[in-house]
Amino acid sequence: MKLPKLDKLEEGIGIKFKNKKLLQQAFVHRSCLNENPGLKMDHNERLEFLGDAVLELAVTKNLFNAYSNPEGELTTWRAALVNSKMLSEVSSNLGFNEYLMLSKGESQDVGRARQFILANTFEALIGAIYLDQGFDAAEKFIKNNLLCELPKILEEKLYVDPKSHFQEKAQEKVGITPSYEILEEEGPDHCKAFVVGVYLNDELVAKGKGPSKQAAQVDAAGKALKKKGWG
């Protein structure tokens, strides 16, 4: 398997790696190694584990220093910044899709599974930056590429949890507490997708899909808010 050249990526993120193997590893998905056992590299899951912790610390530190809001508000803002949807959007904007090393099957999937791969790769890259150049460099990358999204999150209230918001609106508008039901389960155990319906009494308001029951419920609630015009 031919490894992608990473000079353009380094230029795009403004970081020149001392250890190019760390940068390369950040883009290696487990599925790639399953199809290419001769590739002398490790996948990115350990880097992702490290990067997740660095990301949370950097975002928490910057929110704490910049805002005097209560802990609960800062927690919801942080969650909106570091969720898979936001991380995958930032990764796409940085052109990460061009550098992902995936199996043939994974490379054809551009839906929700790709979203999680991109989000995990973002965290893996942070882990690689931390190991190669330290916390300050990782924090600068996070500031330049992720924390800059906070004004949009606050302006559009993207930090509001759709499930909580839909429940509040449903109780306010029609006096009913929404209920959720699993309608379908798809895929093997290691890569399941759930389809969940959100109901107001017997009325199926919307369906949502996700890699977990919780994610599918959130997706369903978001769609229900739009369908009812309660956003």
Take residue 226 and report the two structure tokens written for it: 């739009």
Give yes or no: residues 147 and 81 share one domain: yes
Same domain, 114 and 179: no
Kindly name the residue from 7, 45, 106, 123 that is annotated as catalytic. 123
CATH at 52 = 1.10.1520.10
Question: Both 149 and 93 in a single domain?
Answer: yes
Residue ending a domain, choose from 155, 173, 207: 155
Q: Determine the structural domain holding residue 173 and report its residue range.
A: 162-228
In the residue annotation, 123 being an active-site residue is answered as yes
**Same-domain pairing of 175 and 203:** yes
Catalytic residue among 52, 106, 132, 219: 52
User: Is residue 2 in some structural domain?
Assistant: no
Please confirm, yes or no, whether 73 is among the known catalytic residues. no
Give the domain-ending residue among 155, 190, 210.
155
Residues 38 and 150 in one domain: yes
- State how far the Cα of 219 lies from the Cα of 147, in Å rounded to an integer: 24
79 with 20, same domain: the answer is yes
The proportion of the chain whose per-residue pLDDT surpasses 70, expressed as a percent, equals 98
Do residues 14 and 125 both lie within one domain? yes
Please report which confidence band the pLDDT of residue 206 belongs to, taking 50, 70 and 90 as the band edges. Answer: very high
Give the list of residues 6+ apart from residue 120 with CB closer than 8 angstroms, or none.
44, 45, 48
Question: Does residue 178 surpass a pLDDT of 80?
Answer: yes
Q: Per-residue pLDDT for 67 more than 90? A: yes
CB 216 within 8 A of CB 195: yes
Chain centroid to Cα 56, Å, comes to: 13
147 and 213 fall within a common domain:
no
Structure confidence at residue 1 (pLDDT): 63
Sheet holding 203-210, edge to edge: 179-186, 193-200, 203-210
In the predicted model, is pLDDT for residue 106 greater than 90?
Answer: no
